[in-house]
Amino acid sequence: MRANSSLRLNEFAEPVLGLIFLKFAGVKFSKTQKEIAEERKVKTPSRFATGQAGGASVARERPVSSADYHAQGTLFVPEKARFSYLIELPEGTDMGKAVNDAMKEIATTTKLETYYKCTHCGDEIFWNTHRKLTHCKCKKIWVDGCEDYVRVGGKEEDYSIIKR
Ligand SMILES: [Zn+2]
């Protein structure tokens, strides 16, 4: 009986904690989203300010990416992991699953941008090697990663972790 009720508590607690986490992450994300938009407004020169004929001199701005959020120390929250998205889900949706998927979604976007850079040869290895053990040029480090795990070989001082 007791084991049963604690299992229930876990089943209940996990999505609730996840939801609280997503709520906070989402608030920070929206705040950063506004800040980036403001910053871009200031930076983007108006047509009058450039004073040049034609549009050629107006540099096309690179789209906002998760790297812009990481630069602000903000976790990038993909659309499906946003609190606003989750509360709009239709009635009868498995919320536990939706929250789990949202957490996975965040983990994937974060992991997707990780590179391991060898401090000796400067080689950068992408985290996902599709389970193939991949060495850097000088063989001081190696990476073996896929969606379920990432293993890195070499001493801590042999590589740095790059997110982009
Ligand atoms: Zn190397």
For the chain, the domain total comes to 2
The answer on 44 and 68 residing in a single domain is yes
Q: Which of 108, 143, 145 is nearest to 123 (CA)?
A: 143
Q: Quick one: pLDDT band at residue 17, thresholds 50, 70, 90?
A: confident
- Other beta carbons within 10 Å of 69: 20
Return the pLDDT at 84.
85
Question: What's the gap in Å between 124 CA and the centre of ligand 1?
Answer: 8
What's the average model confidence in pLDDT over 81-103? 88
Which tokens in the block code for residue 86?
Answer: 């989750």
Give distance in angstroms: CA of 133 to centre of ligand 1.
Answer: 14
Q: Quick one: 19 and 86 in the same domain? A: yes
Q: In what order do the strands lie in the sheet with 142-145?
A: 134-135, 142-145, 150-153
Find tokens 């983990």 and name the residue.
107
Residues 98 and 127 in one domain: no
Who surrounds ion ligand 1 at CB < 5 A?
118, 120-121, 123, 136, 138, 140
From the list 74, 67, 84, 80, the residue with the least C-alpha distance to 31 is 74
Taking the C-alpha atoms of residue 66 and residue 71, their distance in angstroms, rounded to an integer, is 9
Q: Rounded distance, CA 20 to CA 43, Å?
A: 35
Q: Which domain holds residue 137?
A: 114-163
User: From ligand 1's centre to the CA of 116, what distance in Å?
Assistant: 10
In contact, 28 and 106? CB cutoff 8 Å: no
Give the model's pLDDT for residue 61.
Answer: 67
Q: pLDDT tens, 22-48?
A: 999 999 999 999 999 998 887 766 555
pLDDT tens for each residue of 104-162: 888 777 666 789 999 999 999 998 899 999 999 999 999 999 878 889 999 999 999 98
pLDDT reported for residue 147: 76
Residue 52 has pLDDT above 50, yes or no: no
Same domain (yes/no): 154, 81:
no
Rounded Cα–Cα distance for residues 61 and 41 (Å): 11
Tell how far the Cα of 147 is from the centroid of ligand 1, in angstroms: 24
